[in-house]
Structure 1
Amino acid sequence: MLDGSTPKTGKIWKKVALEFTYNGRIMTHEFLVSPIGHHSAILGIKWLEKEQPDINWSSRQLSFPIPHSTSAYIAQEEEADDNPLEGIPAQYHDFAKVFGEEEFNKLPPHRSYDIEIELTEEGPLNSPLYSMTDAESVTLKQWLEDELKAGKIRPSKSPISSPVMFVPKKDGSRRLVVDYRKLNNRSKKNVYPLPRPNDLMSKLRGAKLFTKLDLRWGYNNVRVKEGDEWKTAFRTKYGLFKTLVMPFGLSGAPGAFQAMMNEVFQDLLDVSVIIYLDDILIFSRNPEDHESHVKEVLQRLMDMQLFCKGSKCEFHQTTVEYLGIIVSDKGFSLDKLKIQAVQEWPTPTTVKQVQSFLGFANFVRRFVANFSQIAHPLHNLVKKEVK
């Protein structure tokens, strides 16, 4: 054993390959099966030699260096369009403010939809800083300057704080996020429901014309309730800050955002518009009604000071992609990239990998005849009694 003693259960004769995530990286490692007290697992010398992590002995933390070729950028970063009205049909130019580049980077107003963070009594709330590369530090510093200038964050003296970190994206770049896990564990949960994609799609049957709007800034359109800003504090090597807008990473953010969108468009939902978080799709069964449907949505966005990125909006389309599904007046089909992802999925070799594949494949089940029968052997592989 680790202390030199002999295992009470006899020789260690079994090992197992487990997949786990650390510091945003998915890893697979072979572990020897043995009782080790209160620890779930121990990573030994072989793992350290293979992965070569950076070790901070004073804080007892591991981190992984990022290759110099890897880029880093900010999750909330938005770029203004050179010509905000380019591609916007002339009949909607009266709503130029919705697409204006001078509007979207302003601090949104307080509304009745502000997110409230209610803390429970137990559990820690502070976490140590995470290490960063030089490239990440430069990106972080620039982001702090931009957000301070926009008024979306302010210096803080909060007694609690969460660390910032960069996590990998599928394209190999890195995304800056605040690790709010400890705060989330001590916050009352927002149980406001998100709509089921299948239910949303069912409302589109018979629709002939579609317009899709790309809402800028997503969660940042919602303010943190006045007096709760100190709870959002995050620590960096450049100081302690709090955010005035709802940040990514809060467990209550999706529900709070959906509640706002549902309230704003309540009487239009399932009639001429469907909304999943910041994905807005306007639809019309009678093409002659479509212009009035679009104008009604744009008017409400303008009244609520919510803004769209014109270059990413699609107007008066007979076919449009929404939530990974191709929607048209002829029905629904699957995005080719989703089909390709299933076809090129690496062969699973662990229970976790089989579960991941089944979770993704479940997205396409409505397009595959006898899906349950086809997937049945894979479901058998993840049963507890299967070894």
Structure 2
Amino acid sequence: MDAFLVAKYAAGMVRDSKSPQSSPTFCVRKPNGKWRMEHAFNKLNAATIPASTPIPRKDVLQNNMAGCTIFSALDMVDGYYQLLMRESGIPLTAVSTPSGMLWEWLFMPQGLSNAPATFNRLVTQLFRPMRQFVQTYLYLRGRRDSLFGLLPWEGRCPCGSGEGVCHCTMASARLAEGPA
């Protein structure tokens, strides 16, 4: 646990904390036998006003893709770590480890109740100019969230470079650019 957080510290994702409150951290075994670190943000989540951003419904997305014959998917693992926390919220993300270390997240950690909606809103806005061929869907898989960018198309890409190649290139370039 400490090694994971020390690595996040070296990457500039967490900092030492002096917050008067913290959430406990523990590990759970994943189905594949590896360990996953969890933060028990129960009290923080209970005091959080739920985000009003809706998560797109899977059936609506499937209807939007009716008639498409080729699909690409992007699994944005650890996507929350791309979102900076507001300075005022950073002390609230303080986590303690069994060894007595106290850290606070500078980027959005997994486990915050509004993290899926916040991340979904960012990616929806990011791909808004491409919504005719990019559908985003947040797939909640147990305690892990993954956002899939579904890129359906039929026929040739608008730029004429070949079926779908342009769409994937455009979506990859947009991801590399990040939000405006």
Aligned length: 165
Please name the residue that 1:246 is paired with: 108
Gaps of 5+ in 2: 139-146, 157-161
Report how far residue 186 of structure 1 moved: 1.1
Q: Point out 4+ residue stretches in structure 1 off by more than 4 angstroms.
A: none
Distance 1:216 1:186 in 2: 27
Instruction: Please say if residues 53 and 117 of structure 2, whose CA atoms lie closer than 8 Å, have aligned partners that are also in contact.
Output: yes
Please name the residue that 1:98 is paired with: none
Q: Secondary structure at the match of 1:176?
A: strand
Report how far residue 202 of structure 1 moved: 1.5
Q: Which amino acid aligns with 2:178?
A: M
Please name the residue that 2:151 is paired with: 282
Q: Deviations over 1:339-358 (max 9, x none)?
A: xxxxxxxxxxxxxxxxxxxx
Q: Deviations over 1:298-332 (max 9, x none)?
A: 12111118xxxxxxxxxxxxxxxxxxxxxxxxxxx
Is structure 2 residue 171 aligned with structure 1 residue 297? yes
Q: Deviations over 1:116-143 (max 9, x none)?
A: xxxxxxxxxxxxxxxxxxxxxxxx1211
Q: Which amino acid aligns with 1:202?
A: N
Superposed, 1:125-274 pairs within 5 Å as 140-236=1-97, 237-269=99-131, 271-274=132-135
Distance 1:298 1:284 in 2: 16
Q: Deviations over 1:155-183 (max 9, x none)?
A: 00011110001223333443211000111
Report how far residue 240 of structure 1 moved: 0.9
Change over 3 Å in CA distance of 1:142–1:283 after alignment to 2: same
Instruction: Please say if residues 232 and 242 of structure 1, whose CA atoms lie closer than 8 Å, have aligned partners that are also in contact.
Output: yes
> So what's the TM-score if we normalise by structure 1?
0.41
Distance 1:259 1:214 in 2: 16
> So what's the TM-score if we normalise by structure 2?
0.84
User: Sequence identity, in percent?
Assistant: 30
RMSD of aligned alpha carbons: 1.7
Distance 2:136 2:62 in 1: 11
Q: Secondary structure at the match of 1:182?
A: helix
Distance 2:34 2:81 in 1: 22
Distance 2:31 2:5 in 1: 25
Which protein has greater RCO, CA pairs closer than 8 Å, 6+ apart? 2
Instruction: Please say if residues 2 and 101 of structure 2, whose CA atoms lie closer than 8 Å, have aligned partners that are also in contact.
Output: no
Q: Which amino acid aligns with 1:150?
A: A
Report how far residue 152 of structure 1 moved: 0.5
Q: Secondary structure at the match of 1:242?
A: strand
